Structures are given as C-alpha cells and as structure tokens.
C-alpha cells in the first residue's frame, strides 16, 4: 500500500533555540527529510555600515564590537588595521604584540563557544556548552583586566591600544596558557571519541572543496574542506610573520571536520600566545594620532583571520572626519551561502547540526 | 498489607471484624490508591529535584538553590508557577483531542504502579499477568502523546508525535523480549513472584536483558539520548510545544512519572525489588529506584542525541537480534540447568553479554544519511 504524502513547509526560526540568534530557514520537508531550504536573513539588521558613515574614525570602533559580539577584539583589530592602512599610521611594537595576544585569546574564546553550541545542537544537554563557558570565563576575565569590559571590549585604537595592560595581566595569562592545553585535551578526548557524536557528525553536511572556494568561504569552514588558506599565513598582517604555527585542515569537509579544525586551531592559538608573550617588548602602546583623524582621499581594505573566517573592512575616505563608505566583509554571511546545498537531502536533526557547525553570529550576518 | 492492617488496628476495628469482611477489599483498594498517588507525586518531585540539582553538579553550576534548603522546594515552586500560568489553546487546535491528551498521557504512568510491589505483598493488585499488564498499559501513553501532537495543529508537535509513535512501536519488541528472559527464570508473570524468585538479583543472571531493557526503556519514555520526541534543539519541545499552564504540567508530570515507572520496573525485574539486607524493604525499593533514575540523569548530561533513523536502526538491527539471542540462551540455560548453579551462570552470562555486544557493535552499521531528493 502506497501512502499518499505531500511535502510541507516548516519555518525553522526566526525564534528557535538553535538558530544562534534570529535566523530563519524556510524548509520544505518530506517527512523528516529536507527537500528544499531557503535561508532568510535580516532580522538583526541594525545598519552598522551606514551608522559608521556618521561617526569619527575612532567612534566606529564601538560599533565593530557589536558585529560578531563573541569576537569583539578581532573586529576591533580588523577595523583599526584598515584605518591605519588608509591613513598610514605606524603602530608601536608593543601594541602589535598585545594585539596578537588579544586576537588569539579571542579566537580561543570564540571557538570554545562554537564547539559548545555545536554540541548543544547535537543534543548534548548543555553539559559541553557550560564546560566550554567555564574555560571562556577565564579569557573573559583576562579581557576584563585590560579593558574593563566582559563582552564588548572597545580596546583597540587607531595607532595602538587604548591603554597598556595592567601588571597582573601577564601572570594571569601565563597561568591560563599553562592550564588550557590540559582542558582542551580533556574535552577533545571526551567528545571526539563519543560514538553518538561521531555517528551524528561524520559525513554530515559535506561542503566540497570546489564549492567552498566558489562561495568564497573562509576560516574553519574553508579549512575543514581541505583548503590550506589562512590570512595569517597567505597575507600576514600585523606581526604574524614572526610566529611559528600550523594551519590545521580537514579532509572531508563534514560537520566533524569543522569541529575538529576548531579544536586544533585553539592549540595553535595557544602556541602563538606563548611565543608572543616571550617576545613582548616594553614601550609605548599608542602612537600619536589626532582625535579628529582626516585620512587622505583614497580607499583601503584591511582584513584579518577572525575566528569565523576572513573579516574585512573596506573604507573609503573623502578627507573628512568620518568614513565616506564602510563596507564589512562578514565571514559568517559568506560561510552561510552554501547552506542550501549542504542541507538538502538531510533530516531536520542534521540540518540543525550543519547550521551549528558553520558557526555563525547573527550580529555579523545581518550587521 | 502489613501497613494496611496496622492502619486498621489503630482504628481499633480489625479485631471486631471477621477475616472475610467484605469491606476489606475496598479498604485495601482505597488505601493503595492513595498510597500510589502520594508516592508518585512525591517521588516525581524528588526526581525533578535530583535531576535539576544533579545536572547542575555535573554541568559545573549550582542548580536551583533559592527555594528552600538546597532548593528542595523548587518542584513546589514550579508547581505553583504552572498552576497560575495562563492556559493557552491554539485557535486551530482540535479542541477535544487537545484537552484529553494530557490526561491520557499521564494516567498510564500512574496505573503501572497498581502491580508494582513496594514490599512483600504490598501492592494494589497482585495480578498473575502483572508484567504483561505493565507492558500493555505503558503503551497507552503513546496515544496521549500522539493526540497532543495532532491536536495542537503545529508542525513541530506533529513531527514530535510521529517520532514518538515510531520509536515506541520499535522499542516495544526488544523490551518485551528482554522481559521474557526474566519471566523464564522466575517462572511467573506476577511482579511480586518475580521479586520473590530473585535470591540473587536478575541483573547478574540477565546482564544482557538488563542492558536491552534499560536502553529500550529510556527510548520508550524518550529520555536522553533518545529524547527526539521533545528534542530541544530541533523541534523545540515536540508534542507539547503548544501546551502551557496546568496542561503542560500534566505532560511534565507524565514524563517524570514514566521515568519513575521505568525505574520501578527495572528495580523489580532486575535489581531484586524490595529485597535487601538490614534496611526495611520499602527503603530498599526507594534506594534502588533512585539509583536507576540517577543513571538516567547521568546519561542525559553526558550524551548527545541520536537521529531518528539511527534510533530505529538501534532498535531493529542491534537490540532486537540481541534480545532474541538472549532469549534463546536463557531458554537453554533454564532447560539444561533446572536447579542452576547461579555462581557458574553469572560469569558465563557476563561473558556472553560482553562477546555479543562487542561482536554486534562491529557488525552494526548505522546507515541512513543523505537522501536523494
């Protein structure tokens, strides 16, 4: 007996526990299987690019905090790099090192949340999530020491940092760097050998190498598909050419690889922090920059390897105190563009995992 | 019965009554009905507290600690909260089905306790088909869950309800087959007789049966890692997504009452029920029930969720063959060692379990995955 069935539309989101913000997937389902899917963005649009045109170059920095609010330091860094390129401002040595330390700490913090949230999407009831948060808390404490804030740091400035680190920062950082590898190993051991996690994520949501390049994916999503592409290596900004580290790449490009790459990157970040701590020179942390900066007429594109991929700021100056145009290349948005191809044919449960493994922040997707 | 007679004694009535006093049946019925309802409600509160506090400890956080000492009054606070919440009925809901569903989902969990012995002979009805009754009644709650999923007229809840029906239909079979092993050894379907037959707990004689029953039981009452029915991260709350207020509380209650029922059945079938040294039987029963439930909390905090096709594969490709093999082996053992030496059978059975589970894990392929559309 053949049952007569017909597909139906299921709106996953915009208010749904696993959409990491307000994202909507309009899925057409045949039973549990996703036949078609249409991602719908824009629920968190705040017009940050337009707002940036109304503010001074320094005044845009707090706005960048609110892009990827889980990696505010990285956003700061990408923006100030673009402005420094635009206006040709030198940065003191010490500030460069501290920027690298902050950016790498931020990468660890962001990846911790990504891994925790991914496992939450897999259905591990908050335990991995809260353990990851426990480790992230230590990084947030470090950031609170230097900037006074715990989420939106607003720490970097054009030409350096807002102020130098306090004396208790380096011992605390040293303690963190010594403890963290043990925690990563422990969690990796607990998670990477879990039979259910393997069954759920191996081979699920494969993003082929060609497709990953074609949609200009970046960050862990691209590297999981086997492309050795990291802005820190291919176009070294700041002082990344002085450090030794490796770029972990996946082989298949499935959800598990995206998870695995993030765990490996945390280890590499710790390596970079260790080297930066050893080489940290004394001196100033901010060069003399006018409050009302007038960069010469022109344009500049500053990009970094943010935790989620290539984060770029494209700035156009008309020699006024505010950028004429500020465009943000958000990695989360770019990485999401292959979502439909990755999801079709999988079940709802897989769709949630695939979405979670891409690791996005809606604040950055919608801006 | 001892407690019931004690109660009558304090009333000063028993001596004056003839032994075949016809009111005795009704007195027994009334007494145990009250006991069962009080037992279930109190233990569900205890379970909720254990689950929330235990999960808090396992997740590196405190858990509820504001209401009462150690947060002990948290279930009470929760109960008051759901009582005063607004009761929302969706406009498109199938009203009658929507209203009936919570009751139908909860009642079976309560009815199971009619045949569960709290101590020797202390049970509402010592049915000679006790365990069969349990299996039959426990399936009824599926109807309630499906009614909720259908009546809410919500796609998420319909998905949850469909998943529930699929999983319960599949897991009934291995669960039932694993029970048969116990029944073969005990030689009776009555739960009280099964407990009396357990000079050594059947978990030692039937380790594989216990494993299958525990996994299958968890899947039937949709506890993690098989909680697809209400999968938080996928279909939000599944079948009870549209329920609020007291109707939601019925489902919440049903969920924990089912967990309690499964714990009690596992205790009775495999852990020796109320039997144990030193402590009074009722206390032993409670301790074992809580121990089983603790393992459920533990797995919930540890494991991610399986997918629906993996859930079905586990039932049909893993548990069912093992349950059949277990049944055959148990039958042979009961036939060939009628007055079996248990101390020989225990290591033999554990070895058989280890070999079978390892072998089947190697052979077992989950399959599934992407579907061409």
pLDDT in tens, B284-314: 888 888 899 999 888 888 888 888 888 888 8
Residue of B nearest to A8 (CA): B155
- pLDDT confidence of residue B13: 52
- The stretch A245-271 carries a mean pLDDT of 88
- The stretch A248-253 carries a mean pLDDT of 87
Phi, psi of B189 (to 5 degrees): -95, -15
Q: What tokens does A208 get?
A: 């082929």
Q: Which residues of B12-32 are buried (b: 16+ CB within 10 A; e: fewer)?
A: eebeeeeeeeeebeebbeebb
DSSP B307: P
**B52 touching A, CB under 8 A?**
no
| Interchain CB distance below 8 Å, B301 and A203 | no
Q: Rounded distance, CA A138 to CA A270, Å?
A: 14
pLDDT at B12 over 70: no
Is A122 in contact with A201 (CB distance < 8 Å)? yes
Q: Rounded distance, CA B183 to CA B202, Å?
A: 10
Q: What is the dihedral of CA A343, A344, A347, A352, to 10 degrees?
A: 20
Q: What is the 3-state secondary structure (H, E, C) of A334-357?
A: HHHCCHHHHHCCCEHHHHHHHHHH
ipTM metric: 0.80
Residue of A nearest to B305 (CA): A123
B112: nearest Cα among B10, B239, B262, B229: B262
**Under 8 Å CB-to-CB from B177, ≥6 apart: which residues?**
B212, B320, B323, B324, B326, B327
pLDDT at B3 over 60: no
Residue found by looking up tokens 């979670």 in the block: A356
Summary count for chain A: helices (H), strands (E): 15, 8
Three-state DSSP at A8 gives strand
B228 chain-A contacts, CB cut-off 8 A: 349
Length of chain B: 373
**Closest Cα of chain A to B365: distance in Å?**
10
- pLDDT confidence of residue B366: 65
| Interchain CB distance below 8 Å, A126 and B59 | yes
Residue of A nearest to B371 (CA): A345
**B225 touching A, CB under 8 A?**
yes
**Closest Cα of chain A to B227: distance in Å?**
9
Length of chain A: 367
Q: Closest partner residue to B233 among A18, A130, A196, by Cβ? A: A18
Three-state DSSP at B92 gives coil
Structural domain spans, chain B: 90-363
Q: Which of B51, B54, B227, B234 to mutate to test the interface with A (most CBs of A within 10 A)?
A: B234
B366 chain-A contacts, CB cut-off 8 A: 199
Is A146 in contact with A154 (CB distance < 8 Å)? no
Q: Rounded distance, CA B284 to CA B119, Å?
A: 9
B302 chain-A contacts, CB cut-off 8 A: 124, 127
**Under 8 Å CB-to-CB from A26, ≥6 apart: which residues?**
A9, A10, A11, A12, A37, A38, A39, A40
Q: Closest partner residue to B373 among A33, A120, A131, by Cβ? A: A33
Q: What tokens does B54 get?
A: 């235990």
Q: Rounded distance, CA A329 to CA A279, Å?
A: 32
**Under 8 Å CB-to-CB from B12, ≥6 apart: which residues?**
none
Residue of B nearest to A34 (CA): B373
Q: Closest partner residue to B234 among A8, A197, A349, by Cβ? A: A349
Q: Count CB neighbours of B234 within 10 A.
A: 30
**Closest Cα of chain B to A133: distance in Å?**
10
| CATH topology classification for A45-366 | Cytochrome-c3 Hydrogenase; chain B (1.10.645)
Q: How many CB pairs under 8 A join A and B?
A: 96
What burial class does residue A219 get, using C-beta atoms within 10 Å of its C-beta: 0-12 exposed, 13-18 middle, 19+ buried? buried
Q: Which region among A1-10, A157-166, A297-306, A324-333 has the lowest average model confidence (pLDDT)?
A: A1-10
Q: pLDDT digits over A35-56, tens only?
A: 888 888 888 888 888 888 888 8
Is B326 in contact with B175 (CB distance < 8 Å)? no
Interface of chain A against chain B, CB under 8 Å?
8, 10, 16-18, 30, 32-35, 119-127, 130-131, 134, 194, 196-197, 199-200, 203-204, 344-350, 352
Q: Across all residues in chain A, what is the average pLDDT?
A: 87
| Interchain CB distance below 8 Å, B373 and A30 | yes
Q: What is the dihedral of CA A7, A9, A10, A12, to 10 degrees?
A: 130
Q: pLDDT digits over B231-260, tens only?
A: 777 788 778 888 888 888 888 888 888 888
Q: Rounded distance, CA B152 to CA A115, Å?
A: 34
Is B265 in contact with B288 (CB distance < 8 Å)? no
- pLDDT confidence of residue B22: 67
Q: What tokens does A45 get?
A: 């649009």
Residue found by looking up tokens 């629906």 in the block: B308
R_g of chain A computed on alpha carbons: 21
Q: How many CA atoms lie within 13 A of B192 on its CB side?
A: 16
3-state percent breakdown (helix, strand, coil) of chain B, nearest 5? 75, 0, 25
A130 chain-B contacts, CB cut-off 8 A: 59-61
Q: pLDDT digits over A170-224, tens only?
A: 888 888 988 888 888 888 888 878 888 888 888 888 888 888 889 888 888 888 8
Q: Which residues of B203-217 are buried (b: 16+ CB within 10 A; e: fewer)?
A: bbbbbbbbbbbbbbb
Q: Rounded distance, CA B165 to CA B308, Å?
A: 12
Q: Rounded distance, CA B350 to CA B204, Å?
A: 8
């Amino acid at each position: 007996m053949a049952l007569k069935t017909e597909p139906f539309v299921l709106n996953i989101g915009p208010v749904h526990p696993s959409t990491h913000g307000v994202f909507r997937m309009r899925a057409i389902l045949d039973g549990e299987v996703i036949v078609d899917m249409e991602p719908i963005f824009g629920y968190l649009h705040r017009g940050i690019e337009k707002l940036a045109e109304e503010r001074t170059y320094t005044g845009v920095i707090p706005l960048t905090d609110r892009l990827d609010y889980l990696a505010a330091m990285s956003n700061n860094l990408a923006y100030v790099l673009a402005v420094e390129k635009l206006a040709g401002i030198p940065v003191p040595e010490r500030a460069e090192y501290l920027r690298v330390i902050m950016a790498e700490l931020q990468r660890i913090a962001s990846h911790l949340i990504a891994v925790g949230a991914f496992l939450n999407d897999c259905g591990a009831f908050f335990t991995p999530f809260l353990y990851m948060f426990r480790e992230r808390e230590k990084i947030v404490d470090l950031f609170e020491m230097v900037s006074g804030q715990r989420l939106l740091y607003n720490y970097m400035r054009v030409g350096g940092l807002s102020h130098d680190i306090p004396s208790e920062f380096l011992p605390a950082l040293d303690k963190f760097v010594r403890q963290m590898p043990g925690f990563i190993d422990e969690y990796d051991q607990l998670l990477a050998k879990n039979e259910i996690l393997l069954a759920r994520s191996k081979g699920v949501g494969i993003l082929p190498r060609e497709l990953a390049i074609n949609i200009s994916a970046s960050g862990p999503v691209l590297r999981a598909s086997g492309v050795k592409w990291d802005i820190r290596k291919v176009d070294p900004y700041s002082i990344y050419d002085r450090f030794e580290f490796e770029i972990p790449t996946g082989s298949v490009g499935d959800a598990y690889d995206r998870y695995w790459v993030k765990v490996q990157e945390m280890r590499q970040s710790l390596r970079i922090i260790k080297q930066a701590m050893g080489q940290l020179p004394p001196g100033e942390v901010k060069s003399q920059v006018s409050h009302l900066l007038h960069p010469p007429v022109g344009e500049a594109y500053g990009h970094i390897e943010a935790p989620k991929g290539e984060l770029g700021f494209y700035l156009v100056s008309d020699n006024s105190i505010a950028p004429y145009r500020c465009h943000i290349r958000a990695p989360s948005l770019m990485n999401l563009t292959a979502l439909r191809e990755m999801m079709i044919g999988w079940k709802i449960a897989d769709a949630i995992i695939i979405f979670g493994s891409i690791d996005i922040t809606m604040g950055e997707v919608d801006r | 019965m001892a407690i019931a007679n004690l109660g009558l004694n304090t009333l000063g009535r028993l001596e004056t009554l003839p032994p075949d006093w016809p009111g005795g049946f009704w007195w027994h019925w009334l007494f145990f009905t009250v006991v069962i309802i009080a037992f279930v409600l109190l233990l569900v509160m205890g379970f909720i507290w254990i689950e929330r506090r235990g999960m808090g400890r396992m997740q590196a956080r405190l858990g509820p600690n504001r209401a009462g000492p150690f947060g002990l009054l948290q279930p009470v606070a929760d109960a008051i909260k759901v009582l005063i919440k607004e009761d929302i009925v969706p406009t498109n809901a199938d009203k009658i089905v929507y209203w009936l569903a919570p009751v139908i989902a909860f009642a079976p969990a309560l009815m199971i306790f009619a045949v569960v012995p709290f101590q020797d002979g202390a049970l509402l009805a010592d049915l000679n088909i006790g365990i069969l009754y349990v299996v039959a009644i426990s399936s009824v709650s599926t109807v309630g869950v499906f009614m909720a999923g259908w009546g809410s007229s919500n796609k998420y809840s319909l998905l949850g309800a469909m998943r529930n029906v699929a999983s319960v239909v599949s897991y009934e079979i291995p669960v039932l087959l694993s029970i048969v092993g116990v029944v073969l050894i005990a030689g009776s379907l009555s739960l009280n007789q099964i407990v009396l037959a357990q000079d050594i707990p059947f978990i030692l004689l039937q380790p594989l049966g216990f494993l299958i029953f525990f996994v299958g039981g968890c899947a039937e009452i949709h506890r993690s890692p098989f909680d697809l029915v209400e999968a938080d991260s996928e279909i939000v709350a599944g079948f009870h997504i549209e329920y609020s207020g007291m109707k939601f509380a019925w489902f919440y209650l049903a969920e924990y009452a089912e967990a309690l029922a499964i714990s009690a059945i596992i205790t009775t079938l495999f852990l020796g029920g109320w039997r144990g040294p030193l402590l009074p039987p009722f206390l032993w029963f409670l301790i074992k029930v809580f121990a089983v439930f603790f393992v459920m909390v533990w797995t919930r905090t540890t494991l991610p969720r399986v997918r629906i096709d993996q859930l079905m594969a586990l039932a049909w490709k893993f548990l069912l063959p093992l349950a059949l093999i277990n049944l055959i082996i148990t039958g042979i053992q009961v036939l060939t060692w009628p007055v079996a030496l248990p101390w020989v059978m225990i290591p033999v059975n554990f070895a058989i379990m280890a070999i079978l589970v390892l072998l089947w894990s190697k052979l077992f392929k989950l399959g599934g995955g992407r579907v061409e559309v």
